[in-house]
Amino acid sequence: MKNESRDASRSPRQVCAHGDRHASEEVRRIENAFFDLSRPNTAPRRILVEKLAELARTGEAFSTDDLWQGLRAVHGRIGRATVYRSIEQLVESKVLDRVELRDGSRRYRVCGGAHHHHLVCNTCHRVEEFQECLSVRTIEEIGRRHGFTVEEHTLTVYGTCSSCLKSGDK
């Protein structure tokens, strides 16, 4: 998680150069999530948005501690509580998805707006998205049969990714 050319900034403008092209869209989405709820454009937020845009690009899943460490490397003085508070807001506003690993620990991931679910590697903890799902009709039917009003659902597939299979880490 290096970086230098820290031009990105909060500007909802195109960035180009190092493949940051569509990152601006991501950056805007994340900024909106913050500023819908609050006003101040503070340093911690700028750094967080930047880091999350980067994580969005790689699709990396991370723990709260991973994120805290990553941010400290840039900002130094950022508090754990700030990270927790931000993650909470961002999950709430659907910028982040919370994913439960098989061992029960949690990771977060910047996820697109489209309906999707997660495929998790039990070895390296990589998380990928997929679209397949039960039909809305079927889900509603499940709720109806039990007298529930359905609000949401999660579908998570656990397994071993190809590189972990190859390297035999499995």
Partner DNA sequence: ATTGCTGCAAAACCTTTGCAAATGT
Partner DNA sequence: ACATTTGCAAAGGTTTTGCAGCAAT
**CB of 147 closer than 8 Å to CB of 136:** no
d(CA 99, CA 132): 17
| Residue nearer to DNA on the CB measure, 81 or 114 | 81
Q: Collect all residues with Cβ–Cβ distance below 8 Å to 61 and sequence separation of at least 6.
A: 99, 107, 108, 109, 125, 126, 127
Query: How big is the CA angle at 145 (ends 139 and 151), to the nearest 5 degrees?
Result: 40
Distance in Å, CB of 14 to its own copies, minimum:
21
Residue 58: contacted member of its own copies, DNA, none (CB under 5 to 8 Å, by partner type): none
Out of 149, 167, 168, 169, the only residue in the binding site for its own copies (CB under 8 A) is: 149
- Positions 87 through 116 that interact with its own copies (CB under 8 A): 98, 100, 102, 104, 106
**Candidates 29-37, 43-51, 61-69, 119-127 — which segment interacts with its own copies by CB under 8 A?**
119-127
DSSP 148: P
Q: How far is the CB of 126 from its own copies (least distance, A)?
A: 9
By CB under 8 A, name the one of 1, 154, 167, 169 that touches its own copies.
154
- The least CB distance from residue 87 to DNA, in Å, is 8
Q: Are strands 106-110 and 117-121 parallel, antiparallel or unpaired?
A: unpaired
